[in-house]
């Protein structure tokens, strides 16, 4: 029986493992800066964060109040 091949990753998406053994997803277009994807891989919010990172849109900060320094 032939095994199913895994789906290829989207372009510019990299998986890195920290020194603590946890995996994280990053987007890096060309030699630009790395942008971390905080959502779980495969979730709808992951696709939203990925598209924002590839197109260069700023990510909204969660939990910040209007008028704060964040």
Provide mean pLDDT across the span 4-30. Answer: 90
| CA quadruple 55, 57, 28, 54: dihedral, nearest 10 | -20
Q: What are 29-61's pLDDT values in tens digits?
A: 989 899 999 999 888 899 999 999 999 887 766
Who wins on pLDDT, 60 or 8? 8
Q: How far apart are CA 31 and CA 33, in angstroms?
A: 7
Q: How is residue 50 written in tokens?
A: 């990925």
pLDDT, residue 63, reads 64
Q: How is residue 66 written in tokens?
A: 């209007």
Who wins on pLDDT, 70 or 57? 57
């Amino acid at each position: 029986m032939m095994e199913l091949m895994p789906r290829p990753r989207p372009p510019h998406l990299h998986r890195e493992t920290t020194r603590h053994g946890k995996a994280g997803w990053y987007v890096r277009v060309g030699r630009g800066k790395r942008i971390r994807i905080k959502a779980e891989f495969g979730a709808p919010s992951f696709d939203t964060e990925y598209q924002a990172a590839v197109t260069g849109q700023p990510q909204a900060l969660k939990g910040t109040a209007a008028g704060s320094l964040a």
